[in-house]
Structure 1
């Protein structure tokens, strides 16, 4: 099935609210667990970068899992960042910095980071090389990368089944977003081709029926 792009940014209040209030705990906890399999908690570097932080749910979970880290979390949607800032617990506010930043970016909050992580950003980008080139731009040489994203289904019927399986209890606007995101996602073979083209030797592994995990060193 051919890829169908979707808008790069979520800025509509209703859309953002539905996304921010949805229950992504299973997928998001899985992402954090996959990272914890790669890095012992007390060995995570003290400063990390999150690309496409959205409403901040992954941001919070990462901060709780790695309590010595400061997170610079960036997103292109100010509406999303407003939700992220509002929901950030008081005890994490000294360790999380939110920035409005649209990729590709000329400058990041810091010039280089030893760890860059991202969830559900890749499928939003019309040009996937925006992400891969950003990793090379801002990641320390030898720095770690952790990315999770959706995998494009083979057919429309498979996409609809995934929406039914995982979002049937959510508001219609969220079901529509999930469906569109599935159609906008990349296949594993496409991701591997992209990485090969830019010279990034990262592992690409399917970890659920709808998610891919991409990790390795820059």
Structure 2
């Protein structure tokens, strides 16, 4: 198995944020929201941990009129774009964008009916700290839904995935440079990702009963867990 190689926890330059926001996340975000809603969460107060530019929070509000979301991230440049995306979509009354550390949010115990996270875990040197915080924040019976990249077996598999999903096709020099950066970012993220077994081993006791961690695409795993009721 390929060893885990960490990448920066925070992507906080204007270039990083713009590159990320320019990627075509549409199909991935739609699938995330569809699968999250299929797990029948309570939507009264949803925490989107590592929201990035806020696109999943926006998509979730489109699909679920009952959803109210607190979208957090540590990267100021990402949050600036998230606020613009939320405003442009017309959901500022249902999505609160805030700068918080997903490992130490400062929110009270049981504040959230659900916690979601897409592509945060692979950025964290100690992802178990986030899972413990998620368990603390969930109300009894609350749903944790995490989707992230799964670390490939070897460099051959990394190269195959990068070639499949991050081709450099643009002829314009500026766009070609952006695609090259996105390609390098994707490869680094794959190397920084966890395996299903590693995620399972990090689950706190309050989330273990009935939890599922499984590969749900050729490059993603999904964790679905509910906090034990008192």
TM-score by length of 2: 0.88
Distance 2:16 2:89 in 1: 26
Distance 1:140 1:110 in 2: 8
2:216 to 195, 203, 207: 207
TM-score by length of 1: 0.92
**Is the alpha carbon distance of 1:36 and 1:209 closer, same or farther for their aligned partners in structure 2, counting shifts above 3 Å?**
same
Q: Tell me the residue number matched to 2:166.
A: 167
The question of whether the paired residues in 2 share the 8 Å contact of 1:54 and 1:81 is answered with: yes
1:71 to 69, 72, 75: 69
Q: Deviations over 1:87-127 (max 9, x none)?
A: 22252111110000123225128861111111001100000
1:47 to 35, 45, 48: 45
The question of whether the paired residues in 1 share the 8 Å contact of 2:145 and 2:224 is answered with: yes
The question of whether the paired residues in 2 share the 8 Å contact of 1:113 and 1:140 is answered with: yes
| Structure 2 counterpart SS, 1:67 | coil
Distance 1:179 1:8 in 2: 15
- Displacement of 1:140 after TM fit? 0.9
Structure having the higher Rg = 2
The question of whether the paired residues in 2 share the 8 Å contact of 1:146 and 1:214 is answered with: yes
Query: Which sections of structure 1, spanning at least 5 residues, go unmatched?
Result: none
Is 1:131 matched up with 2:130?
yes
Q: Tell me the residue number matched to 1:26.
A: 27
Runs (4+) off by over 3 Å: none
The worse-fitting range, judged by mean Cα deviation, of 165-174 and 96-105 is 165-174
| Structure 1 counterpart SS, 2:188 | helix
Query: Which sections of structure 2, spanning at least 5 residues, go unmatched?
Result: 169-177
The question of whether the paired residues in 2 share the 8 Å contact of 1:44 and 1:66 is answered with: no
- Displacement of 1:33 after TM fit? 1.5
Count of paired positions: 213
